[in-house]
Amino acid sequence: MNKNILIIPGDGIGQEVTTWGKQALETIAKKYDHTFNFDEAIMGHTAIEETGNPLPDETLAKAKTSDAILFGAIGHAKYDNDPSAKVRPEQGLLKIRKELGLYANLRPILLFDELLEASSLKPEILRGTDILFFRELTGDVYFGEKIRSEDNSFASDLMNYHRYEVERIARKAYEAARTRSKKLCSVDKANVLETSRLWRDVVQEIAREYPDVETEHMFIDNAAMQLVKNPKKFDVVLTANLFGDILTDEASQIAGSMGMLASASIGDGTGFFEPIHGSAHDIAGQNKANPLASILSAALMLDIAFGLQEEAKAVTQAVADTLKAGWRTGDIASAETPTTRILGTNEMGAKVLECLR
Ligand code: NAD
């Protein structure tokens, strides 16, 4: 197979972890005799510093012509503490998702048995959890009109959804549910929000096309509670942009750490594969970031973008084997982990590649 892959490391730990996702792809190419051609581009704070634009035209052009994108993370403390900054790293991410027509963000909550002790939840509650989130990406308060009154006494973010936006992601989620346990939970706030009432109406309509899938509707507040009370009750979870953003961070604790969760953004154009974590200023540049989410993002790319299931499984297995051998980064170490088994980003990445080879 011959594919062109664009690497966008972004900012902070994005740069540190993406190198390992890329090396996992290179190792797979060698092992399975594929040709992966790599190009690199800038985005986020790094791009603002170089060009004044969080998503330079050159990056967007490369993104549109590549077969898949491996992304790290964007963000810088400078903007977090200055909410009024007009040019911001996250504008690059929102724009590229829009430009590539990426409307569905898939977030598998993959729980490795070896990390049962790393979670803040009890192992007996977690064991057997396997959730696939579908988070809508193009609508919601992220893109609605934003207002701040001149005297700074009022602000508003408009939450909006179009029927077609709900239809297309709902179909993707139902298709996935068919290949899994045939259970789908749609999460909304239909008791309060008009957008959620539209969401629920549309999901109920689409549900009729999939009579073999059992549908449940749940309010977001209840879902947030059930996710830590009984995560095993969920299989495919379908939800809007804001609710999905928050629920999947919560769910990352099921997998032990933000540093473990990969995601795939798919839609009309080039697929975009990235860890769910951000640029983590608190640990950036210290060789402390967990590279496994980036490596697992590479696995998702092989599976979803290229249909290379065997290769994807090999990457996931290499991660499992590394964990089984006892190796940990700080974020997934437990009180029982010997300090000699706690590795930095680069050493952990190298261990996974060793297993993969
Ligand atoms: P974050 O995900 O960067 O970090 C949250 C916490 O998790 C931190 O304590 C961090 O050290 C830890 N963490 C995250 N990834 C880790 C990894 N791979 N290994 C070990 N620990 C890890 O979220 P935040 O602190 O809220 O935001 C930091 C910056 O990232 C902000 O500028 C924010 O805007 C940006 N951000 C970007 C994205 C993205 O690019 N997709 C997503 C979320 C946040």
Element housing 328 (H / E): strand 328-329
Ligand 1 centroid distance, CA of 277 (Å): 5
Q: What is the spatial distance between Cα 165 and Cα 190, in angstroms, rounded to a whole number?
A: 17
Contact 173, 213 (CB under 8 A): no
The pLDDT of residue 85 is 84
pTM of the model: 0.89
Question: What is the distance between the alpha carbons of residues 230 and 34, in angstroms, rounded to a whole number?
Answer: 42
Under the banding of pLDDT at 50, 70 and 90, the label for residue 268 is: confident
pLDDT, tens only, 54-110: 999 999 999 999 999 999 999 999 888 887 788 999 999 989 988 999 999 999 998
- pLDDT, tens digit (0-9, with 9 covering 90-100), for 285-312: 999 999 999 999 999 999 999 999 999 9
Q: What is the Cα–Cα distance from 191 to 217, expressed in whole angstroms?
A: 11
107 annotated to a ligand binding site = yes
> Does the beta carbon of 351 lie inside 6 Å of ligand 1?
no
Cα–Cα nearest to 257, from 111, 51, 86, 40: 111
Strands 271-275, 262-267: pairing kind: antiparallel
**CA distance to 13, 192, 236, per residue, from 221 (Å):** 32, 12, 18
Going by pLDDT thresholds of 50, 70 and 90, the confidence category of residue 113 is confident
Q: How far is the CA of 87 from the centre of ligand 1 (A)?
A: 20
Average pLDDT along the chain? 94
Distance, in Å, from the CA atom of 229 to the CA atom of 183, rounded to the nearest integer, reads: 18
pLDDT for residue 339:
86
Count of positions (residues) in the chain: 357
> Has 245 been labeled as part of a binding site?
yes
Window from 201-210, 257-266, 307-316 with minimum mean pLDDT:
257-266
What number does the ligand 1 atom closest to the CA of 75 have? 32
Domains, the chain: 1-107+261-357 (3.40.718.10), 130-253 (3.40.718.10)
> Ligand 1 within 6 A of 9 CB?
no
292 lines ligand 1 (CB under 6 A): no
39 Cβ neighbours under 8 A, 6+ residues apart = 4, 5, 6, 7, 62, 66
Check whether 33 is labelled as a binding-site residue. Answer: no
- What's the rounded Cα separation, in Å, for the pair 292 and 348? 8
CA distance 178 to 184: 9
Residues 6+ apart with CB under 8 A from 170: 186, 202, 203, 206, 238
Averaged over 220-245, what is the pLDDT? 96
Position 151 confidence tier, pLDDT thresholds 50, 70, 90: very high
115 lines ligand 1 (CB under 6 A): no
Let me know if 245 is a catalytic residue: yes
- Among the atoms of ligand 1, which is closest to the Cα of residue 275? 41
Please indicate if the annotation marks 221 as binding a ligand. yes
**Higher-confidence position of 143 and 58:** 58
SS3 at position 149: coil
Mean pLDDT within 164-169: 97
- Is the C-beta atom of 278 inside 6 A of ligand 1? yes
- What are the tens digits of pLDDT across the range 209-230? 999 999 999 999 999 999 999 9
Q: How confident is the model at residue 119 (pLDDT cuts 50, 70, 90)?
A: confident
| Residue 337 scores a pLDDT above 90 | no
The Cα angle at residue 226 between residues 222 and 231, in degrees rounded to 5: 150
Confidence band for 322, pLDDT divided at 50, 70 and 90: very high
Going by pLDDT thresholds of 50, 70 and 90, the confidence category of residue 49 is very high
User: Measured between alpha carbons, how far is 100 from 355 in angstroms, rounded to an integer?
Assistant: 34
